[in-house]
Amino acid sequence: MSANNVRIAINGAAGRMGRALINAALVTPGAKLSAAVERANSPELDTDAGNLVGLPASGVELGADLAAALAASDVLVDFTRPEATIAALAACVKAKRAMVIGTTGMTPEQKAKIDAAAKEIPICMAANFSIGVSVTMKLLELAAKTFGNTVDVEIVETHHKHKLDSPSGTALVMGEVVAQATGRNLKDVALYGREGQVGARDRNTIGFATIRGGDVVGDHTVMFLGEGERLEITHKATSRLNFAQGAIRTAIWLSGRKPGFYSMREVLGL
C-alpha cells in the first residue's frame, strides 16, 4: 500500500452502513482503513474489520476509543445517529481531523454545530453519497428550471423498515433543489401528508410521500406533472456499497483541504 494513501476511520463500524464503509475502504485505491470505532458495549469489539465484512484480516480491530482512532487517521467517516455524530464532531475538531458525515435527521441546532465546526476542520456532509444521486440532483435542477412553475411536483421515497427519519434526507434535498431552481423556499411550500377533504392542489406546493418496509435500500422518484405529460426522474439503490464508495471517495478528496463546508458537487466537479 502506498504511503500516500489517506488513512480513514469508520465510526459506527458494525452497523449496516459501517460494514459497507469498511468494505469500500479496504478495496478503494488511495484509501487505507486505519481504525474502526464502535460503542463500548458492542459485541463486535476486538473483531478484525476485514473478517467482519467477509474479507481477509485487515489488521484493524473494532475498538471503542475514538480519540485513539483519530490520532491514527486523517479523516473520520460517520454514518451513525445525530447524537453520536455530534459527539464525534467535537472529537474531530479537537484532533483537527477532517470529517465525512452521512448521518441524516439532524435538528437545526445540530446543523448549526456542524456549520460552526466547518470553520475549524474540513467537512463534507451529504444526505446521499451515491454518485448516481449527485447526477440525479443535476437533472432535477435542469428539469425544474426548464418547467418553472408550470407543473406540479411530487416526491416519492421508499426505504427499509429500520429507517428512523422521514422523509429521507435525500428526498428533502431533492425538494430543496427543485424549490431553489424555481424561486421557492421549501419550508414554505413542502407538503408532507394529505388526508381527508384537502381541497384542490396548490401548484406552489411540493408534495412528499414516504413508504417504509422490507429491506429496500433507497428509491427516490421526483415527478413533474403537467397537462398532457409528466416527467419522472428516478434513482434506485440496490446496495449500500454505492453510498460507501462515494463516501470513501469523498474522504480521499477531503483529506488535506482547508477548513470549510464542502458539497458533493465540489467533490465530483459538478
Strand-pair category, 206-212 with 190-191:
parallel
Query: Within the chain, where are the H helices?
Result: 16-27, 49-52, 66-71, 82-95, 108-117, 131-147, 169-181, 186-189, 241-254, 264-268
State the catalytic residue, choosing from 111, 113, 163, 187: 163
Cα–Cα distance between 63 and 30 in angstroms, integer? Answer: 23
94 is catalytic: no
Residue 128's SS3 state is coil
| 161 labelled catalytic | no
> Taking the CA atoms of the chain, what radius of gyration do you get in angstroms?
20
Q: Rounded distance, CA 42 to CA 248, Å?
A: 24
Find the catalytic residue in 32, 159, 220, 235.
Answer: 159
Q: Which residues pair with 260 in a beta bridge?
A: 122
Active site residues: 159, 163
